[in-house]
Structure 1
Amino acid sequence: MMKRSGTPRPDPAAFILANLPISPVPAIPEILLHTAGPASGLWRLAGRGETNPAPYWAYPWAGGAVLARHLLDRPKMVAGRRVVDLGAGSGLVAIAAAKAGAAAVTAVDVDTNAIAAIGLNAAVNGVNILVVAADIIEAPPPEETDILVVGDLFYDPALALRVMAFLRRCQASGIEVLIGDPHRAYLPQKELQRIATHAVPDFGGGRGDDPVQAGVFSLVSNS
């Protein structure tokens, strides 16, 4: 008897267009995103089990939302500068940087579904973003980068250590680092300086549209 093969995964872009409606981000109405809902059937695209990356890209998380709000309110922080969004997810922060007038924006993520979502979300918002599918945090700091933005990457202890080491290397190479986070468990607060606080949604964190007080942080100097 022939073994029945599993159901093939759908094309990410086609699935997102068909199942994730476009809506404004709560507290950031300037930006529209394809966002998953209860009936999206996201598991058909994201898969199930430990080997499949969690679909973080399908929801606005507070760490990204607070950075997006901050950059849109203070466009001089990125205007004319080259921006890299690490762990970009939906592309929310990258889109905000582009809308704020960044000279160039690169969005980096390891999830190929996120890469598809970023391209679609950039198109919806009328901005140009270079999308890179890679894990760069063990690599040298990205070249031709003025500012690195990091939203909500301190939810796992091992990942937090790797990310922080990479951010320190970026800082040492002259790249400005901005972190957005709603005080996840592994945020290294003693190594950070709070710049601002904004009330933003944490839909991806299971709180729906209820706002949380999330922070924007820079790195404390090692010198």
Structure 2
Amino acid sequence: MKTDPEIFIRDNTDVLAPPHVPEVRLRLATEAHDLWLKTEEELEEIGLPPPFWAFAWAGGQGLARHVLDHPGLVAGKSVLDFASGSGLVGIAAHKAGAAAVLAADIDPWSETAIRLNAALNDVVLGYTADNLVGRDAGWDVVLAGDVFYDRAFADVLIPWFSTLAARGATVLVGDPGRAYCPRGRMEALATYAVPVTRALEDSEVKKTTVWRFKTIP
């Protein structure tokens, strides 16, 4: 029997405030391992990707914090929240005054998580499950939290983000020191100490930097 995403998310998460972004409430998992097992068992799929939508990752928390503290970055602008996951960064952008926010994530479960989380925060986000890499819909600002964890993914993101920045978009990345973060292509805007779940990371606090892609590749 097919699992209903909304029922599953409501049953396996709690409404919590991410520690670095207390202004936002999200449906988050409290035990990463238990949720992973339940996801595999209930969906009866082998090798199902981890439920990224169920956690407030360090890169997203740092980026959301920076947007809320510097609303001028997004106020009155069109924003893409790329690889949105829970919708945390997009919600922060909306709260900071963005004119429109599109949350993009190819995981179909993210659509339900983002809808539920947006409702918790009394905001409305657009959503797409399309793979937007390489596309340009004229967004003023592109936000991406914690996306440089994989070499192959980084190899397609870096030229895309560089092209967007070159035509005038503000491209901001929140990164907690992932191996494939292209630091030489960006300028650091701020660094935060973000509390995280030890079950997901190798420490309880991750040093997280908000970067801006340079306009000249």
Whether the aligned pair in 1 keeps the contact of 2:18 and 2:26 (CA below 8 Å) is yes
Residue 93 of structure 2: aligned partner: 97
Quote the offset at 1:48 in angstroms: 4.8
The letter for the 2-side match of 1:92 is: L
* Number of equivalent positions: 213
Q: 2:183 is matched with which residue: 177, 186, 189?
A: 189
Residue 19 of structure 1: aligned partner: 12
Residue 74 of structure 1: aligned partner: 70
The letter for the 2-side match of 1:49 is: I
Distance 1:45 1:71 in 2: 36
Q: 1:54 is matched with which residue: 50, 53, 70?
A: 50
1:84-123 per-position Cα deviation (integer Å, ceiling 9, x unaligned)? 0000000000000011111111100000011110111000
Whether 2:177 is the aligned partner of 1:180: answer no
Q: 1:137 is matched with which residue: 133, 146, 153?
A: 133
Percent sequence identity over aligned pairs: 38
Q: 1:209 to 1:11 in 2, by over 3 A?
A: farther
Secondary structure in structure 1 of the residue aligned to 2:91: helix
Unaligned runs of 5+ in 1: 1-7
Unaligned runs of 5+ in 2: none
TM-score with structure 1 setting the length: 0.88
Whether the aligned pair in 1 keeps the contact of 2:166 and 2:215 (CA below 8 Å) is no
TM-score with structure 2 setting the length: 0.91
1:197-219 per-position Cα deviation (integer Å, ceiling 9, x unaligned)? 11112338724992221000011
Distance 1:175 1:137 in 2: 15
Distance 1:195 1:56 in 2: 25
Distance 1:177 1:29 in 2: 24
Q: 1:158 to 1:208 in 2, by over 3 A?
A: closer
